[in-house]
Structure 1
């Protein structure tokens, strides 16, 4: 089953999305993060479409063939949630299951927090629920100071987020110099060797940039994560749109916190699933305090560990698909087609 390409345009926003399965079935909406695309879910769409759901993956704002904006504030999570509401209305569905990864996770958690009446269930890969909003201000207090001493790494592994705030133009320029090179460098499988060591993101401010002012190193594509076709799709999109939009997602911490403060409640009642990346050392959730706010604010939480790095859905698609299907069958059996 191949995923079909669609465009939905309103007066406020245009969304390009991929879909597989019966358009009249229950939607499962897959939300990508930085610096990805709807194709990040290429291994999930045909599987869940084939299981009888309407599997949908949009290009998020600033990416692919969806709208690109020129102001930082247009990339606050609140606007991405509004995009999903418009998409859900367009699909003709009252409710959906939402699945998010990386920056897509704060979006689907916010969807569940702000619009529980439209959320059947919520699942996140790598990034746990932050009920007070996804921002450095909510993440830094949970840093593992055994790995990140405060005098050396004031913001822990989140130092890179502060670099965006302090040197946004330089951060963008570092990626825009060679988007294809960055795609090959970034999309790599995880490995167990980094446990207990500071993540590379912790050194970005101290080094004066992601690459310390140097060129992006030329490395071979990791074929266990991307095919040549995947590399081309990512590189073409990021070259065409640039990194201003993707990087601007990091510029809205206070706005994201204010949005969370306006939610009708912080405790999520619907079924929730969280997949830990065992070898994700930035979103390090195994044996750390980072998932604690999620555990305290989800009434029906299921957790599983996937032995992968950050790009979980692309690196370990069978394990991710199995975990999602098992959770859906256990927690939302009424959604499965007869």
Structure 2
């Protein structure tokens, strides 16, 4: 197991980002950016694996989570503010560019980084949420809903109904999660006992009508769910982090669709750098298998690789070895200069080579 070190970078005069780092400080740089809900420690299988082969692997607690600034200030969680934090994080490493890996809202953030600061992206890896979608506001993903499953007259917002719930009733939406943070953390990281029906509408499509989990008064208690997909020590750290902050900050990422569209919408989105998209077969909310959600990424990326582990939304929790293998193979094949030990890598050149 890699030794994880804790770091903190201050930015914007009154904010901070806490991050975990592993591997040699001069190794090729790779960032792992989590989504909702997670913290940096949930990337531990990736931090261990990449540090072991010589990468400098970094996973921040994103704003709103863990030991990073987690104020109840909605403006902290628009994409513009989040990208500012990511640029401070990159600057703290002393590097000018990195491989960026994002999951869920983390993919939205890494996509925004690629749009706003393409020179900082050596390769882009998006997990479950494709590039050129959620970071563009409602118009970036709502038109791509599978309307055979979600007829517009019955499901105006498709499986994304819960996002509208945040916009209309934010405090009420967050109150439900915060009524049992530990129970929610356990439930969200537990593998379902069975796979859902592939093309049936999901519960997230009726949240405004029925409430979370079809109207449960609070999240399931820890006794009601099976073992977490996370290792015991990682789950305990994650749950403790989430108890500290609650879900307010992390959920406030959903409040800025219009603002995010204005920030990213007019920018060039064609991406020449190598890109990898990791689908998840059983992710029925971020549905990339029966909907057109991945099409904008396919159109925007000139060098795109796609893989599909047989897993649900938290694919990096459920199938960490498969995810790591996909990442390794992608980098070896598409970006060999960023692979430790490559003869073309700046990290292996001796002084006499320079």
TM-score bracket, normalised by the shorter chain, equals over 0.9
Q: Structure 1 residue 139 and structure 2 residue 141: aligned?
A: yes
Match among 78, 81, 96 for residue 79 of structure 1: 81
Report Cα offsets for 1:63-116 as digits up to 9, x if no partner: 000011222121011211111111111101111000000100011111111111
Distance 1:95 1:12 in 2: 25
1:246 aligned partner: 250
Paired residues of 1:170 and 1:209 also in contact (CA < 8 A): no
**TM superposition shift of 1:162:** 0.1
1:174 and 1:211 in contact (8 A); partners too: no
TM superposition shift of 1:169: 0.9
Corresponding residue of 1:286: 289
The partner residue of 1:177 within 169, 174, 179 is 179
Rounded Cα–Cα distance in structure 1 between residues aligned with 2:289 and 2:210 = 27
CA contact (8 A) 2:204 2:285 kept: yes
Answer with 192-201 or 165-174: which moved more. 192-201
| CA distance, structure 2, for counterparts of residue 43 and residue 222 of structure 1 | 21
2:150 aligns to what?
Answer: 148
- TM-fit CA distance, 1:239: 1.9
- Following superposition, the deviation at residue 132 of structure 1 comes to 7.9
- The correspondence of residues 52-63 of structure 1 with structure 2, limited to 5 A, is 52-63=54-65
Structure 1 residues 144-176: Cα deviation after superposition (integer angstroms, max 9, x where no partner): 111112122110100000000011111011001
Structure 1 pair 87–240 and aligned structure 2 pair: CA distance change class (3 A): same
RMSD: 1.7
Structure 2: 5+ residue stretches without partners:
342-354
Post-superposition offset of 1:138: 2.4
Distance 1:209 1:314, change over 3 A: closer
The answer on 1:334 being equivalent to 2:337 is yes
Distance across 1 between alignment mates of 2:195 and 2:211: 28
Corresponding residue for residue 67 of structure 2? 65
TM-score normalised per structure 2: 0.91
Alpha-carbon distance between aligned partners in 1 of 2:129 and 2:86, rounded to the nearest angstrom: 19
67-76 or 49-58: which moved more?
Answer: 67-76
Aligned residue for 1:255? Answer: 259
Do residues 232 (structure 1) and 236 (structure 2) align? yes
| Matched position secondary structure for 2:141 | helix
Aligned to 2:350: none
1:7 aligns with 2:8: yes
Compared CA separation, residues 132 and 208, structure 1 to 2 (3 A): closer
**Cα pair 1:45 1:56 within 8 Å, conserved:** yes
Q: Which of 1 and 2 has greater Rg? A: 2
Q: Identify the range of structure 1 (134-143 vs 299-308) with the bigger mean alpha-carbon deviation.
A: 134-143
Q: 1:84-233 alignment to 2 at 5 Å?
A: 84-130=86-132, 133-189=135-191, 192-210=195-213, 212=215, 214-218=217-221, 219-223=223-227, 225-233=229-237
- 1:31 to 2:13 alignment: no
Per-residue deviation, residues 223-242 of structure 1 (Å, max 9, x unmatched)? 36123333322222222212
- Structure 1 residue runs of 5 or longer lacking an equivalent are none
Larger mean Cα displacement after TM superposition, 200-209 or 159-168: 200-209
**Structure 1 pair 216/192, CA: closer, same or farther in 2 (3 Å)?**
closer
Where 1:201 maps in the other structure, the secondary structure is helix
How far off is 1:52 after superposition?
1.3
Q: How far apart, in 2, do the equivalents of 1:132 and 1:72 lie?
A: 18
Q: In the TM superposition, what whole-angstrom CA distance separates every residue of 1:299-319 from its partner, at most 9, and x where no partner exists?
A: 111100011111111110000
Checking the alignment, whether the CA contact within 8 Å between 1:180 and 1:231 is kept in structure 2 is no
Q: Return the offset for 1:248.
A: 0.4
Structure 1's 27 and 222: CA in aligned 2 closer, same or farther, altered over 3 A?
farther
